[in-house]
Chain A
Amino acid sequence: MSTLEIRGLKVSVETEQGSIEILKGVDLTIKSGETHAIMGPNGSGKSTLAYSIAGHPKYTITEGTVTLDGADVLEMTVDERAKAGLFLAMQYPVEVPGVSVSNFLRTAATALRGEAPKLREWVGEVKSAMESLKMDASFAQRNVNEGFSGGEKKRHEIMQLELLKPKFAILDETDSGLDVDALRIVSEGVVRAKAANNHGILLITHYTRILRYIKPDFVHVFANGRIVEEGGPELADKLEANGYAEYVTA
């Protein structure tokens, strides 16, 4: 049983006009096996929260703590956070020219597992992960995310989730840009990975349709850099019907 604990997290970005505070004190605790959905208007800071946990250099933590089973996540480098068990499926996965998916995945698995996976087993693992996400085998030879469609990029993220087996998965709008079939395929991938690894999930979304596949235990409303309401799955339906008007102050 693992716990990811976020306490009083305040985060700024540096701009030409000076520093802007985006997260204004976030508190959130996620345990293994739990699924937490975060919903909130554009620009409210959801991706900032995801990136800050993963350690993106653009964000400056000004206050608060993030711990994983008591270990100080904010002290860790980006790769150390992944090694500690954090995984971020990005809203906009990055293209890495000239680096093949197969080389990338093997390098990542080697880093996370501490040794190179045995070649034969690894080939099988990758093949079945690709098959279950309905990705053509040819993707292995393509460059990471280069020329992938929006939906293909998201499948690639979830394929990594299945292969890399983290303790906590942060899914930033993994459902955006997916057609109905892709949404089902990707969601099933998340559910399968969770069944196998019992990881905790922080799922950022604008829509309830993904929550029909990935059932949240908790729903948090995010507005203006903090969590403004918490509830069970029924809160998501209310948000979809009514929008965020009552949470956003002019």
Chain B
Amino acid sequence: MSSLQSNVLENHTPTGREEAWRFTPLKRLGGIHDGSATAVERNSLAINGSLPTGVTFSHQEIEAVTETDDVIVNRIRAFTSKGAVLSIAANAEIAEPIMLNRASFGTDSAEFSRVLIKAGNHSKSVVVIENSGDTHLAEDLEIVLEPGAHLTLIALQEWDSKTIHAARHHAIVDRDATFKSIVVTVGGDVVRLLPTVDFIAPGASCDLSGVYFATAGQFFEHRMFVDHKVPNAKSRVNYKGALAGDKAHTVWIGDVFIRAAAEGTDTYELNRNLLLSDGARADSVPNLEIETGEIVGAGHASTTGRFDDEQLFYLMSRGIAMDDARRLVVRGFFNEIVSEIGIDSIQERIMTRIDGELEKAGK
């Protein structure tokens, strides 16, 4: 088990004093963490559109790939042995993104959901999960990348304002496989998402990117853990967030563990936050633990800043009004990551949502 303090999930009902839980407003988790939620199985995850050749999707009995000390995940596994399984056949190259979406059923009960995504040997695919509406959701998502697989997983949290979403997206990345994750969190009341990566053979790599925008009262937590336990794996983390409005609160934790065996590791993680008003709070904690010196590189950076007056001045000196200048700067800030999605209609939808969040905050 990792000795990284902040990643020890302790597998008991959290009290809030644990390092891994100290930022999370437990009272607002709807009982997902302590067993008091009315858990239901809904199979809300569905394929949107037709299944390309080489891809299967079904709700079925499911086996956990790895054990975890995440108490929410363990509650989900204790509750149900079924889940959604998406498989991409070995060597399949899926040209179009595979679109999944979740129907939401309101907030009277909590959906406990298990999902497994399997990317076969040397397959190549992009999977998009679109989350919207109001729901309570506890999600145990495992992603298995067989040797040489390339998988991009785009998880979009475009929730409405009442959603509670606690999820672990755990990728197990085999030899020469490449996992790319893009997380977008722009809605919900409380979202706690744990993108975690386990490298199980040399040559594996991951790229975890994300954007989030929290406005008044919203709590969004993104907590990564990349476990370099084999040699010659590469990881990149890049999360960007904006906050505006009273008691908007975001948390970004970047845990990277380079174990003694992980010679040749190359890792860099970055978190940047844009604080757009007083009363908002961005916690940003990069955490690098290194047990071997024989590495290619390991670094991290974290910045939290406000609007750059020089940028706004430059734009306004060309006739662009203040609100438009702010919108351009915020879009520009997020563009680096949003443009990675590669699907124009989704990119524009996210940017428009971001414009909306900014406008809401300006009032």
A residues in contact with B316, CB < 8 Å: 55, 77-79, 82
Q: Which residues of A contact B344 (CB under 8 A)?
A: none
A79 to B321, CA, bound (A): 6
Are A98 and B336 closer than 8 Å at their CB atoms? yes
Question: Looking at the complex, which one of A55, A56, A108 makes contact with B318 (CB distance below 8 Å)?
Answer: A108
The verdict on A124 contacting chain B, using a C-beta distance below 8 Å, is: no
Contact of A94 among B310, B322, B336 (CB under 8 A): B310
Docked complex Cα distance between A88 and B316 (Å):
11
A160 contacts the other chain (Cβ, under 8 Å)?
Answer: yes
B328 CB contacts on chain A under 8 angstroms: 96, 99, 103-104, 107
Contact partners of B319 in chain A: CB under 8 A: 79, 82-83, 108, 111-112, 164
B309 partner residues in chain A, CB cutoff 8 A: 57-58
- Tell me whether A185 is interfacial, beta carbon within 8 Å: no
A160 to B325: give the CA distance in the assembly, Å. Answer: 17
Q: Is B329 an interface residue (CB 8 A)?
A: yes
**Which residue on chain A has the smallest CB distance to residue B328?**
A99
CB distance from B108 to the nearest CB of A (A): 41
What is the bound-complex CA distance between A99 and B339, given in angstroms? 12
Asked whether B335 is an interface residue with its Cβ less than 8 Å from the other chain, the reply is: yes
Min C-beta distance of B11 to chain A, whole Å: 41
Are A96 and B320 closer than 8 Å at their CB atoms? no
**A57-B309, A77-B322, A79-B320 known; A104+B315 contact, CB < 8 A:** yes
A94→B318 contact, CB < 8 A = no
Chain A residues 84 to 109 lying within 8 A of chain B, measured CB to CB, are 87-88, 90, 93-99, 103-104, 107-108
- Nearest-Cβ distance from residue A105 to partner chain B, whole angstroms: 8
Alpha-carbon gap, A164 to B318, bound state (A): 8
Please, which residues of chain B bring their CB within 8 A of the CB of A97?
332-333, 335-336
What does DSSP make chain A's interface, helix, strand, loop or mixed? mixed
Q: Which residue of A lies closest to B315 (CB)?
A: A96
**Shortest distance between the CB of A193 and any CB in chain B (Å):** 15
Residues of A within 8 A of B321 (CB): 79, 111
Q: Given A99-B329, A99-B331, does the pair A107, B317 have CB atoms closer than 8 Å?
A: no
| Interface hits, B244-271 → A, CB 8 Å | none
A99 to B320, CA, bound (A): 13
What CA separation (Å) do A17 and B314 show in the bound complex?
27
> A54–B334 contact, CB under 8 A?
no
Q: Once the chains are docked, how many angstroms separate the CA of A217 from the CA of B329?
A: 39
A94 and B324 in contact, given A82-B319, A99-B329, A111-B319 (Cβ under 8 angstroms): no
Q: For the complex, give the distance between the alpha carbons of A77 and B324 in Å.
A: 14
Q: Chain A contacts of B334 at CB under 8 A?
A: 98
Most buried by B among A55, A56, A112: A56
B313 at the A interface (CB under 8 A): yes
Measured in the bound complex, the distance between the Cα atoms of B329 and A17 in whole Å is 32
Query: CB distance B317 to A99 under 8 Å?
Result: no
Q: Which residues of chain A have C-beta atoms less than 8 A from B313's C-beta?
A: 54-57, 78, 94
Chain B residues with CB below 8 A from A164, complex form: 318-319
Interface size on A, residues (CB 8 A): 31
Is the CB–CB distance between A107 and B311 below 8 Å? no
1/0 per position for B136-148, CB-CB distance to A under 8 A? 0000000000000
Contact A88 B320 (CB under 8 A): no
User: A94 touching B314 by the CB < 8 A rule?
Assistant: yes
In the assembled complex, the Cα of A58 lies from the Cα of B335 at a distance in Å of: 28
**CB-based nearest A residue for B334:** A98
Specify which chain A residues have a CB less than 8 angstroms from the CB of B333 in the assembled complex.
97-98
State how many angstroms separate the Cβ of B307 from the closest Cβ of chain A. 11
Residue of A with least CB distance to B310: A94
| A224 beta carbon closer than 8 Å to chain B | no
Contact assessment for A96 and B311 in the assembled complex, using a CB-CB cutoff below 8 Å: yes
Residue of A54, A56, A96 with most partner-chain B CB within 10 A: A96
CB distance from A222 to the nearest CB of B (A): 21
Contact status B318-A143, CB under 8 Å: no
Within residues 288 to 335 of chain B, which ones have a CB less than 8 A from any CB in chain A?
Answer: 309-311, 313-322, 324-325, 328-329, 331-335
A57 CB contacts on chain B under 8 angstroms = 309, 313
Contacts of A104 in B (CB 8 A): 315, 318, 328
Interface positions, chain A 39-87, Cβ under 8 Å from B, are 54-58, 77-79, 81-83, 87
List of B residues within 8 angstroms of A54 by Cβ: 313, 317
Measured CA separation A56–B311 after assembly (Å): 11
Residue ID in chain A nearest B313 by CB atoms: A56
Residues of B contacting A112 in the complex (Cβ-Cβ under 8 angstroms): 318-319
Instruction: Give every chain B residue within 8 A of A58 (Cβ-Cβ).
Output: 309
Contact with B along A102-138 (1 / 0, CB 8 A): 0110011001100000000000000000000000000
Residues of A within 8 A of B329 (CB): 96, 99
4 shortest interchain CB distances as A-B pairs: A98-B332, A98-B335, A108-B318, A82-B319
Additional pairs, 17, CB under 8 Å, beyond known A96-B329, A107-B315: A54-B313, A79-B319, A79-B321, A79-B322, A82-B317, A88-B317, A94-B311, A96-B328, A97-B335, A98-B336, A104-B328, A108-B315, A111-B318, A111-B320, A111-B321, A111-B324, A112-B319
Contacts A/B (CB < 8 Å), 17 sampled = A58-B309, A79-B320, A79-B321, A79-B322, A82-B319, A83-B319, A96-B311, A96-B328, A96-B329, A97-B333, A97-B335, A97-B336, A99-B331, A107-B315, A107-B324, A111-B320, A112-B319
A positions within 8 Å CB-CB of B:
54-58, 77-79, 81-83, 87-88, 90, 93-99, 103-104, 107-108, 111-112, 143-144, 160, 164
Residues of B bordering A, CB below 8 Å: 309-311, 313-322, 324-325, 328-329, 331-336
